[in-house]
Homo-oligomer: A and B are copies of this chain.
Amino acid sequence: MKQLEEKILAEGIVLSNTVLKVDSFINHQMDPVLMKEMGKEFARRFQHKKITKVLTIESSGIAPAIMTALELEVPMIFARKRKSLTLREGLITAKVYSFTKKEENEITVAEKFVSPNDQILIIDDFLANGQAALGLMEIVKQVGAKVAGIGIVIEKSFQDGRQRLNDAGIQVESLARIASLENGKVEFVKEEALAGGM
């Protein structure tokens, strides 16, 4: 998505070879007009999938997910993150390990909001190792519902999350795919590489 790539080039801050800071428009301060455009784009890319619900994880996934759900005219659910849970009644849970924070969280969704008939679109802000997306997929699987696709705002294509999700046979759509952050510079995956089935 050109508009997002341009914003990343203009405002993204490369902190290291693996870390891109986008807190001026994605995950602390947010650009609502860009969020709306991203929601439209996700809706367009998954319009053939008969999505019944959008699922994300707090906190940074909520804005792109609500905009996508608005376009698709379906409810949105956000999974909650907790260090560990004592009360599990009525909750579906999965474990998610964060490589960045080096900690494991439990993510939860209330059972009553997901049914086996649901076709679920998972939305998240970042895809790196795929742990959050795999945790959300695990939750959908436990209910017997279907993961209709995964929409990612920014994919770090140099990490292995995308491959893991592809291996699971899921349609993954990332609005910006970053090939490299080396030498303090953002490089996107080239269109030709994409067309070649990268």
Binding site for B on A (CB under 8 A): 23-25, 28-33, 35-36, 58-59, 62-63, 66-67, 69-70, 73-78, 80, 109-110, 113
Contacts and interface: CB of A to CB of B under 8 A. Distances in A.
Given A24-B113, A67-B66, A59 B33 contact: no
Nearest to A62: B62
B28 A69 contact: no
A30 B76 contact: yes
A31 B77 CA distance: 9
A66 B113 contact: no
Contact of A75 (B30, B59, B109): B30
A32 B66 contact: yes
A127 B109 CA distance: 24
Contact of A77 (B29, B73, B76, B109): B29
A69 B24 contact: no
Contact of A78 (B25, B28, B31, B66): B28
Nearest to A71: B32
9 contacts: A24-B113, A28-B77, A28-B80, A30-B77, A35-B70, A59-B78, A63-B63, A63-B76, A66-B66
Most B Cβ at <10 Å: residue of A28, A74, A75, A77: A28
* 8 tightest Cβ-Cβ pairs between the two chains A and B: A32-B70, A58-B59, A32-B69, A62-B62, A63-B66, A59-B59, A29-B113, A29-B77
B36 A70 contact: yes
Nearest to A27: B78
Contacts of A24: 113
Contacts of A66: 30, 32, 35, 62-63, 66-67
A190 B28 CA distance: 38
B62 A31 contact: no
A126 B184 CA distance: 42
Contacts of A33: 70, 73
